[in-house]
Amino acid sequence: MTTIGLIGSGNIGSALAHLTVAAGHDVVLSNRRGPETLSDLVAELGPRARAATPQEAAEAGDLVVVTIPLKAYRSVPVAPLGGKVVIDTNNYYPQRDGQIAELDDESTTTAELLQAHLPESRVVKAFNNIYAGFLPVLARPSGDPERSVLAVAGDDAEAKARVARYLDDIGYDAYDVGPLAEGWRYQRDEPAYAELYSADASGTWPPQQPRRVDEAFLVEQLGKARRYRDM
């Protein structure tokens, strides 16, 4: 049994909490507003879940998911995450996060920003390119022919292997895209971004119809990635 710490309990965090508990793991949830604001979600999740502060969630988690607006990444506690595997779900939306020069000039990526903030942690990029509402819908047991695959990127092979095991537990295969620097291939506006998992022809948001994504299709879309400056 593993304890998953969640720094951020919004749409992605809540979906992962449900999948994690269903897989038999414990979750420690947190957000910026305080543990008391998570009482309804904790009650819904049952005895494997508890609410805490971000510091406490970081300390408790064997694996920790950071799923907060990118503009707040510097608020993530550093010391308790030293040596731990941290999953980064962040995306860059300038209209929400403000302009970030090093992302605008594409000299780095969102996950590399978090890795720089957490120098003693091992950051892996995952979950940022799937609509949160589809996470529980597309989850399938290991070996199911309808199982989908999710992209992961990171600079540490063992950390990526641990994240792949977690993905397997909650219903997904993992495809290793490469180092953190390659995480741009499934960032906002790329072919391997959120609409990848949508079967809606209209392109409306939020999407209504999920689409299974196998490794071949994911690799094909990753290969179509273009830098913003080339769009």
Q: What is the pLDDT of residues 85-110, one digit of tens each?
A: 999 999 999 999 999 999 999 999 99
C-alpha span between 90 and 49 (Å, rounded): 23
**pLDDT by residue (tens digit) across 47-59?**
999 999 999 999 9
Angstrom distances, CA of residue 171 to CA of 74, 181, 209, 227, 228: 31, 26, 18, 31, 32
Q: What is the pLDDT of residue 201?
A: 80
pLDDT value, residue 74: 97
Put the strands of the sheet holding 49-51 in their side by side order. Answer: 49-51, 26-30, 3-7, 63-66, 85-88, 122-125, 149-154, 173-178
Instruction: State residue 56's pLDDT score.
Output: 98
Is the pTM here over 0.95, yes or no?
A: yes
Instruction: Supply the mean pLDDT for the chain.
Output: 97
* Cβ atoms of residues 58 and 83 within 8 Å: no
Look at residue 1 and tell me whether its pLDDT is greater than 80: no
Q: Residue 213 pLDDT more than 90?
A: yes
| pLDDT beyond 80 at 202 | no
